[in-house]
Structure 1
Amino acid sequence: MHRLNESSLEELIVDQMVEGGWTEGAPADFDAAYALDLGHLTTFIEETQPNAAKALSLAESPPGRHKFLARLQGEITKRGVVHLLRNGVDHLGQHIDLYYPTATDGNAKAAELFAANRFVVTRQVHHSPSNRGDAVDLVAFVNGLPVFTFELKNNITKQTVDDAVQQYQRDRDPRELLFAFGRTIAHFALDDQRVRFCTQLKGKSSWFLPFDQGFNDGAGNPPNADGVMTDYLWRRVLAPESLAGIIENYAQVVTEKNPNTGKRTAKAIFPRYHQLDVVRKLLADVAEGGAGRRYLIQHSAGSGKSNSIAWLVHQLVEATHQGVVAFDSVIVVTDRVILDDQLSQTIKSFLQVGSTVVHADRSGDLRRAITAGKKMIVTTVQKFPYILDDIGSEHQGRNFAIVIDEAHSSQGSKTSAAVSRALGGGVDSDEEDSVEDQINRIIEAKKLLPNASYFAFTATPKNKTLEMFGEAVSNPDGTVGHRPFHSYTMKQAIQEGFIVDVLANYTPVGSYYKLMKTVEDDPEFDVKRASKKLRAYVEGNQHAIAQKADIMVEHFLGQVIAKQKIGGQARAMVVTSSIPRCIEYFHAIRDALAARKSPYKVIIAFSGEHDYKGVQVTEASLNGFPSRAIAEQIKTGPYRILVVANKFQTGYDEPLLHTMYVDKTLSGVLAVQTLSRLNRAHPAKHETFVLDFANDAEDIQRAFDPYYRTTVLAEETDPNKLHDLVNDLDAFGIYTPEHVDEFVTRYLAGEPRDQLDPILDACVAEYVELPEEDDQVRFKGDAKAFLRTYNFLSTVLPYGSPEWEKRSVFLDHLVPKLPAPKEEDLAAGILENIDLESYRAEKLTAMKIVLDDEDGLLNPVPAAGGGMLATPELERLSEIVKSFNAHFGNIEWNDADRVERFITEEIPRLVAEDVAYQHAQANNDPANARVESDRALGQVMLRLIADDTQLFKEFQDNESFKRWLADAVFNATYRKSA
């Protein structure tokens, strides 16, 4: 019976590896001077290549053996052990194979050679020529070449994987041959519960990454009824056939070149558990089912999707189904323009001899690549539809794998139709075809291709993405939902320390200001529009921007630079709401840095050319270097702060980003993607900071919650809603079925505009003559809802409707022609009549935002349309300014920003959710709705006693405040819901 100590774990691992096909080696066979198991290396070569062994005198001649071993050692040092295993070594006119790869089905000779490989695991290997007492717990060898080392610990003896990591960092000298870079594939630190690995030992800065399976969507490993929790490592991952796959397809030393210095650095690549798991599961499904399937992979931002995609693409090329290659071409689509080239380079770095990859930049590139037999093509989603339009119909009999990086916008209806026409082989239009034939072909073209498999990777799947690519699951109520094929959650990535928790140090910044009226008259303005304009005016005021820039610079210099974050290398990003605001911030931050005589500099990123104080400026003219150099410059020298407007806000991968200053309203996926720019891990990065001038913690939590764990679609979109929308649209009488049929017939026949516009113009005239403007709003809203829903459903539904498709073609051209209802801006001119009396921005309490620990549930694609014009509520300028100031601080609140959030967001939201109030609105009864609104408000305020006693007390005791709040809540909620 094994004792429960480190030695017993070591014994257990070796016993179970031997059961799985390994051989236990003898420590005496290890030669520390060459870091090789000489006995097994010699035996392998003698048994498999006797002529080479004899020619090299491996067994008999010490000088001959020494020359060969010196040659072998030099090649491993130069190229890494994986390269030698894959390619062998040439020495004195002889080629010596050092490993035989996995055999393909039916290749008996290859299977015999693979069986000759010697997988050896040895305990207590004395690795140091100078200190013979030192021993590493385990070393795994393939044909005498070391591939892994292991340090083992045991929780029962109160030592953990962390102690094993420290032992590597403290006691294993990377200058010793066994621990030198590239000499092995990886070093494993493990105990009976957790596994970590490192590909390059660097003393105390050795970076060990987790290699756990994950448990309950988080870190760690599940309980194992059949043994030790970590035995998946040696029983499954390192089983000989599995290890062979890692050697042949995953492990790699890649060389990266710094474009500025030209310096090349080598980096060892080894898959994390979730990367190995997802690629293998996808390949297994392809082997079983062939082409024509859809897969959604939800892997957290910063989880190494580029490498996962590269490993997948590289193996999809050779993947087989029923003995035949499954895909003729693999097309990779990315919408991350910055990483587009990086992804291509990552894929190229993993390729084996004979594989080819091309980058399809222009129309025709993809067609030529496929025609020429190129197996891998990388392109961007922006170019994809246009490129695909050019391919033609000759690929109907071919199968394709389409790998989509960040799947949100990659599969709209038009893109999908272009894909289908290009790869599915739509027949060219024929004069004898009826309109119905053409319509049916269009319907088929929109559907996901039966001759293509889609592999969609995203960290933040939307409802459309889940329904299009996710796996269907049955709900208890009989509806059908969708979930990802594979997930590596934000929760697990944070808990494992693979990404940094960007919500752990979140600080909202409150704005406090007072306005004054600057005219004697007291004109009337629309309250809601006026308040919105006033807020934008205040936050965009030069004084406000200068003050906020001061706060940013003060924080950055005092809390980031002075405290040597990321070893003194930390960078910051400023997220702005518009290009003009971005340019203003750039100058304000530059001035603030200069005023403090700081050596650090700021970079700006935006698109196009814009006016600044009468001068046309670009990011290049302001920065003093080309746009393409921004990503590299921010990592070098004095450049520390990057000010952005949309650019770099998503898809930008920079581990040195530590702090973000947000002055832009964020919500949903954009909030997650923006703040996640900070989450990339770095050995010296232990936390991040977010200072947010525009959002509050509740907004951010609401955005992140669906994506903390696995994201699930509650139920599918109901196609019957399309029938309802068609009936509603037809009932307006703006068009007739004859209008639709005639327009579609002429459109498909390619007739000129002067034959199409009269039909549309006649319908526009009917629209304009509608007696109520609300009807115009409702029709246009319904038409847009129909197009949105149909464009999505036409992709995923197994059937199509010619009537739906004809209306889609017709409405797609009619909607842009419909004029917006005349809506006078009754807040125009208000900014000329007020001035900013005072402004101050103040950091509030830093907090950790805690996310809900449950699956994120998304609702299906909304198919509702319609809407109504909002009736403007006019008030005197003096009242608007008075109300605005009262709203933001005339009462001496204990926590004004908290009260502002309650009044403007939380209270109206809770009142709007009241069921009785919703019923009153549905019955179109404003008087009763006001009664129900006031009742609901009273109940909401009672619930606030515990959260904010001062706010409750003002509501109870201050009649004018109570009346103002009741009016404000009703105005905010009734008009939105009616």
Structure 2
Amino acid sequence: MHLLDGKAKAMVVTSSRAAAVRYKKGFDAYLQKHPEHKGIRALVAFSGKITGSQIMHADDAQAGEEFIIDEGDEFTEISMNPDAKSPDLRIAFDRPEFRVMIVADKFQTGFDQPKLVSMYNDKKIANEVEIVQTYSRLNRTAPGKDVTFIIDFANDPEVIRAAFAKYDAGAQIHEIQDPNVIYTIKGRLDEAGFYDESDVEAFQVARFKSIQALIETDSSSHKALYAATQAPTDAFNDAMKVTREAIEAADLAFDKAQKLGNEAGMKQADFERKEAAQALQQLLGFKTDLAKFVRTYHYVAQLIELGDPDLEGFAAFAKLLSKRLDGVAPEAVDLQGLLLTGFDIKAREDNQAEGEEPEVLNPMGAGGGKGPVGMPVYIAEIVEKLNALFGEATPLKDRAAFADQTLSILSENALVMAQVENNAKDQALKGNLPGAVMNAVVRAMTSHSGIAELLLKDPQTMQAYTSFLFDLLKEGKRIDMDLLESS
């Protein structure tokens, strides 16, 4: 709940009105017993009126005094939300203190709350359309919103996947990971050598800034976080620059040797080009592994307690470093989501009980960040950028075809091409290019409606996509669909 500068919200989807009332009573009781969560309130949404006899369980006395009620007690949405101050809970939920919405057959469709980042589903959903609509409540974008969570206690993952596959051919559900996968990926990141222990320690110091400083939006803590990732960022960017320059030099040497008929020179240049291409794939693999580590850690940490504070600190370090390597602007990074907002002290168990099986989840595998073998370097870079922009939910060929179509439209615009060819990126982006990209995206909607709508709804992604297209136009590159599919 510390995400989005402490404004993130969650939804709890319950199976019935009775369950919603019980969740609300339990949630309120928990908050009363835990003053460290003061400022967080819950709303409950359900229709009509429900009586105590419909809510009561035989074991309520053991469950806690908050569940002891009379059969004749009546509960309505209004009576259970005395501080809402508005009959429209959509409006009330937008207030900062209301961070959790508990629902029973309400607000699962047609409800837009951009700050909604988490969903806990305790309802069996049989209708495929309702599954997609319910989960999609988290799709709305907000500044700094880069992660969402859904914990579903009631539905079969394959049913969820099948429901989404009807609307998205690329829909996937990765199986739960073996926790050791996190350490495997981290081992590869450590070996790359772009950061050392001192960088991570400096980041940890910055994270231990007081909550009061955070509330006062003390910019010094933000500067310290960025300073701790500056050296790794510079090291990676410098390596990328050197590698790209090596590739360009090898290409020039090959062309020169070819014109002179110098077979030995051509072989040497080709060898150097392949070495540089391999180095570039390793760099791109580091970026991929960094993003995968962040996703995997946050997912596994929602399911089990890892009990490794050093790993938790590294995950925050990796998240900010990943953002910086992707060129995300500081104002678009949810820095509060990286800071330590609380801690607990627990005894650490040194040894596992004899004969006890270790806790293992279904493995997905650590994977690897290296680019596909044999894929040309510039194609590998384009694939990596398309993945960063649009994710991997839609098939790669669809993403590439969409980008190629918009490139074709832009290349026919003489004014835009003149501005791209004769200006640096920052100047070109102030000219006709952004408007031309917008028009090209609109024109491409007929054949790629999903990707086009994503761009039109998300200004940040549109801005990043425009920058990506500028790079391709500037370098005279096009997306060779035949080469992409054959790699």
The interval holding the TM-score normalised by the smaller chain is 0.3 to 0.5
- Identify which of structures 1 and 2 has the higher relative contact order when contacts are C-alpha pairs closer than 8 Å and 6+ apart: 2
The structure with the greater share of residues assigned to helix is: 2
The structure with the greater share of residues assigned to strand is: 1
TM-score (norm 2): 0.37
| Higher Cα Rg, which structure | 1
